[in-house]
């Protein structure tokens, strides 16, 4: 138990306000206290054992920051009618690991100060000062994050995951995916570059995916940023298949309401990409992201990343199947022209033999109808998996 006087000074001696520890909001090194006046009314919130950088200080919040010398600072919040009104208040998070404090002015939340947990973890410094230093300020405009970072929940099988969205001037600059399990931890940055995206695993490799009118390119880099491999994928309209090698794997997809084929131009390049992913310097997650990245130029949203983390592949409503050839035998899907102009019929193969799957019968359908059929199957599969859990 602590006490506060009317000058907002902390004292061990009995004074104007009695501050009782809030066990639910006290996490890690830092503590949170609820402060009551002599009528037992909740009037203030006190947060101690913190440090703060000058970068997050501003004229409005300085009066609510108290200095304790080597013991850092404390943050103070003032209630009005039992609700946050002025100053700092501990922000409740689902994980409880992030230190976030909402700043209120006249009853309205105007900003937040927080410790960038991912930055702290990357620094590999497990000490109190690093873990409790508030080094990021979130600002809002009309309730929307304008500058700072947002913590977005995600689910992953066999572990824990979160996505952090870094924002500047209301635009996302980078997403950082945190993946954690027993004896495993990985940070993956996904950022927009000209005509595409870059995917980088902290301390490991990275890839860039860029798009052009006739395909896309995946470039692989080692942990030092040196280019190690390039895989080019060509996009062929279904009516122009002369450049497709049917003895190698290729995929079908929808583009501008037309059926297209995608294939790596060089099989050796694609094999080298897989070998790099298995190297100690490589990240299997990065390679999965790169290969399952949308074939059409994507407008990447956080929902896409949440889906990937949960499934380890991207949701792609334009993907319409793959065909492979092993030892002269066809596996997968092959389309032929339908009886009507602009329609297609699907034939499925296993070990070179034609097979029938009742759940996927495509005869004389347009590419949009085919895409809708694939989407319906994926939805049914997802519902079945949910029922089985």
Q: Tell me, yes or no, whether 361 and 216 share the same domain.
A: yes
SS3 161: strand
Adjacent-strand bridge partners of 200:
189, 206
Residue 387: per-residue pLDDT: 60
> Given this model, what pLDDT does residue 206 score?
93
pLDDT, position 96? 65
Q: Domain count for the chain, please give it.
A: 2
Alpha carbon distance 255, 86 (integer Å): 53
Distance of alpha carbon 193 from alpha carbon 211, whole angstroms: 11
Whether 191 is in a domain gets the answer yes
| Residues 351 and 244 grouped into a single domain | yes
Is residue 30 in a domain? Answer: yes
Position 357 scores a pLDDT of 87
Q: What's the full length of the chain, in residues? A: 389
Q: Are the C-beta atoms of residues 16 and 6 closer than 8 Å to each other? A: yes
On whether residue 156 sits in a domain, the answer given is no
Same domain, 79 and 209: no
CB atoms within 10 A of CB 55: 11
Do 112 and 228 fall within a single domain?
Answer: no
Residue 292 has what pLDDT? 82
Backbone angles phi, psi at 56, to 5 degrees: -100, 0
Residue 165 included in any domain: no
Verify that 133 and 183 share a domain, yes or no. Answer: no
* 210/359 same-domain check: yes
pTM (predicted TM-score): 0.86
- Residue 282 has what pLDDT? 77
Longest CA pairwise span in the chain (Å)? 90
Q: List, for residues 14-56, the tens digit of each pLDDT value.
A: 999 999 999 999 988 899 999 999 999 999 999 999 999 988 8
| Residue at 158 is within a domain | no
Extract the residue ranges of the chain whose pLDDT is less than 70.
95-96, 125-126, 280, 294-298, 384-389
204 and 124 share a domain?
A: no
Q: Do 88 and 136 share a domain, yes or no? A: yes
* CA-based R_g, the chain, Å: 27
Buried b or exposed e, range 326-348, using 16+ CB within 10 angstroms: eeeebbbbbbeebeeeebbbbeb
For the stretch 123-143, pLDDT in tens is: 776 678 888 999 999 999 888
- The answer to whether position 163 is within a domain reads no
**Residue given tokens 């034939």 in the structure block:** 347
Is residue 196 included in any domain, yes or no?
yes
What local confidence, expressed as pLDDT, does residue 225 receive?
92
Residues 124 and 18 in one domain: yes
Q: Are 66 and 184 contained in the same domain?
A: no
Q: Pick the closest to residue 174 from 155, 135, 136, 200 (CA basis).
A: 200
- If asked whether residues 137 and 275 sit together in one domain, one would say no
Dihedral of alpha carbons 298, 382, 313, 263, sign: negative
Contact 5, 14 (CB under 8 A): no
| Residues in contact with 1: Cβ distance below 8 Å, sequence separation at least 6, in sequence order | 18, 19, 20, 21
Distances from the Cα of 43 to the Cα of 6, 25, 105, 150, angstroms: 12, 17, 15, 29
Domain span at 267: 171-388
In this predicted structure, what is the pLDDT of residue 269? Answer: 92
Q: Are residues 184 and 129 in the same domain?
A: no
Distance separating alpha carbons of residues 242 and 136, to the nearest angstrom: 55
Residue 289 lies in a domain: yes
């Amino acid at each position: 138990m602590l006490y506060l006087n009317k000058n907002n000074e902390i004292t061990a001696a009995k004074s104007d306000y009695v501050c009782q520890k809030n066990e639910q909001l006290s996490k890690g090194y830092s503590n949170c206290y609820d402060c009551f006046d002599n009528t037992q009314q909740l009037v203030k919130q006190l947060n101690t054992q913190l440090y703060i950088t000058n970068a997050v200080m501003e004229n409005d919040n300085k009066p609510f920051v108290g200095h304790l010398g080597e013991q850092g600072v404390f943050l103070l919040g003032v209630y009005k009618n039992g609700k946050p009104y002025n100053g700092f208040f501990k922000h409740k998070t689902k994980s409880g690991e992030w230190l976030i404090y909402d700043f209120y002015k006249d009853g309205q939340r105007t900003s937040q100060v927080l410790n960038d947990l991912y930055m702290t973890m990357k620094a590999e410094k497990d000490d109190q000062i690093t873990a409790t230093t508030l080094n990021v300020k979130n600002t809002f405009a009309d309730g929307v994050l304008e500058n700072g970072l947002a913590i977005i929940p995600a689910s992953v099988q066999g572990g824990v995951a979160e996505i952090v969205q870094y924002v500047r001037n209301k635009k996302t600059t980078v997403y950082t995916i945190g993946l954690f399990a027993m004896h495993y931890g990985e940070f993956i940055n996904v950022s927009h570059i000209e005509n595409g995206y870059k995917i980088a695993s902290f301390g490991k490799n990275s890839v860039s995916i860029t798009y052009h009118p006739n395909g896309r390119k995946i470039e692989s880099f080692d942990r030092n940023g040196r280019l190690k491999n390039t895989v080019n994928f060509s996009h062929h309209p279904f009516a122009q298949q002369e450049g497709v090698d049917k003895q190698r794997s290729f995929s079908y997809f929808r583009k501008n309401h037309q059926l297209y084929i995608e294939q790596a131009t060089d099989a050796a390049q694609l094999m080298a990409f897989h070998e790099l992913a298995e190297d100690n310097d490589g990240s299997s997650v990065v390679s999965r992201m790169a290969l399952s990245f949308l074939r059409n130029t994507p407008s990447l949203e956080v929902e896409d990343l949440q889906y990937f983390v949960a499934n380890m592949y991207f949701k792609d409503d334009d993907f319409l199947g793959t065909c492979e050839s092993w030892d002269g035998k066809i596996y997968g899907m092959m389309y032929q022209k339908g009886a009507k102009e602009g329609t297609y019929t699907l034939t499925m193969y296993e070990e070179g033999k034609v097979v029938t799957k009742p759940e996927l019968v495509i005869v004389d359908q347009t590419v949009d109808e085919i895409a809708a059929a694939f989407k319906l199957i994926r939805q049914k599969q997802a519902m079945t998996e949910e029922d089985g859990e």
